[in-house]
Structure 1
């Protein structure tokens, strides 16, 4: 297996901008919103980087579009950037461009979303392990009986990924191939940051989790 990772972070985040009307400049860029003292994009990258230690996992790509130069300046040096030319036409176009960029060097692609901040490294590793065990199957995430990203697609599905357009992302293919995948449950995948309220919910979730960990360490 030659797995490459694509973290999609190309959108303009209009709903986020509209929810923080008093912010200007970087303050209204969703990918740079602060979570646990880090920009969202950095926080998401750090969850994926440990996968690069696995044999066969090659490169972590971040696909950028809106505010590309500002966001790129905040990325770790070891991250490769895919510049989406058609990000404004929707996630489908962005994903198709991204897969086109890496398809010649991949047997599988792991597609992740930057605004799913609570998806853990452990879940990504579980997806990867399942893909290694079943390399011909799509390995998706299940949450509240829905199939979604993050997901791993084998090479034979690349032509279909390349045809995606508009706002239809990987979820469209998951629905079409319901009998050709395995899925791993991840309750945290439902936390998708679209607005400031979503961001605050994620921050509160992390604070509560940290408080529980501290209490557990104290009592033990």
Structure 2
């Protein structure tokens, strides 16, 4: 089974006022950290692509030392769906059996969670696996290849969640209660950093 992993890092981070992908924590950027997390996956066959956009050059440079394929999204200003479409097109070109989306601003993401998602997928083309935050759910999120055509039709700024919602009664869920912790504003970052350094 060939699984394409896509790190979505094309946004402008307008609410933060600086590229969240390049925030430094524990002497590395959030992007470098999540990329390393993804690369530690042990699964039948995986490859990693990074979708860039607003800050394409510095974002790509931040992972220049890692074995990832960098794809520039010229339509990044449309919103996350444009990056989903680009990642899906690439997955189809790579003849992937599934596509797993990951973001850069979930600092609690770890490799065991991603392994659990892949284990729950287990090669089913009709499978959708999402991360359960308790009060909500979302990324990391995996789609089997049966959903690739529909992923290519998405538009706007909500990414792949509208498609997963369409099949809400079929979703498989992996517990990720800290998945709701993300970095959208300077206050988010300060709050996370304070809790991380003062547990």
Q: Same fold (TM over 0.5)?
A: yes
Query: 1:151: how far off?
Result: 0.9
Query: 1:134: how far off?
Result: 4.9
Query: 1:122: how far off?
Result: 1.3
Which residue does the alignment assign to 1:65?
53
| Counterpart secondary structure, 1:14 | coil
Q: 1:87 to 1:168 in 2, by over 3 A?
A: same
User: What are the Cα deviations for residues 172-192 of structure 1, in whole angstroms up to 9, with x where unaligned?
Assistant: 112110122210110111011
User: What are the Cα deviations for residues 27-49 of structure 1, in whole angstroms up to 9, with x where unaligned?
Assistant: x3221111121111111112111
Query: 1:98: how far off?
Result: 1.7
Q: Following the alignment from structure 2 to structure 1, what is the Cα–Cα distance between the partners of residues 44 and 31? A: 25
Larger Rg: 1
Relative to its length, the structure with more helix (as a share) is 1
Matched, 1:101 2:90: yes
Query: 1:205: how far off?
Result: 3.4
Q: Following the alignment from structure 1 to structure 2, what is the Cα–Cα distance between the partners of residues 134 and 200? A: 40
| Counterpart secondary structure, 1:12 | coil
Matched, 1:92 2:81: yes
Aligned length: 197
Which residue does the alignment assign to 2:158?
168
Query: 1:103: how far off?
Result: 1.4
Q: Following the alignment from structure 2 to structure 1, what is the Cα–Cα distance between the partners of residues 183 and 56? A: 19
Give the one of 32, 40, 58 matched to 1:42: 32
Query: 1:166: how far off?
Result: 1.0
Query: 1:116: how far off?
Result: 1.4
Could you tell me which runs of 5 or more consecutive residues in structure 1 were left unpaired when the two chains were aligned: 18-27, 210-220
Query: 1:70: how far off?
Result: 1.4
User: What are the Cα deviations for residues 98-118 of structure 1, in whole angstroms up to 9, with x where unaligned?
Assistant: 211221320101111111121
User: What are the Cα deviations for residues 155-212 of structure 1, in whole angstroms up to 9, with x where unaligned?
Assistant: 0000111111111211111211012221011011101111111112222333345xxx
Which residue does the alignment assign to 1:24?
none
What is the CA RMSD across the aligned residues, in angstroms?
Answer: 1.5
Could you tell me which runs of 5 or more consecutive residues in structure 2 were left unpaired when the two chains were aligned: none
Which residue does the alignment assign to 1:204?
194
| Counterpart secondary structure, 1:179 | helix
Query: 1:137: how far off?
Result: 1.4
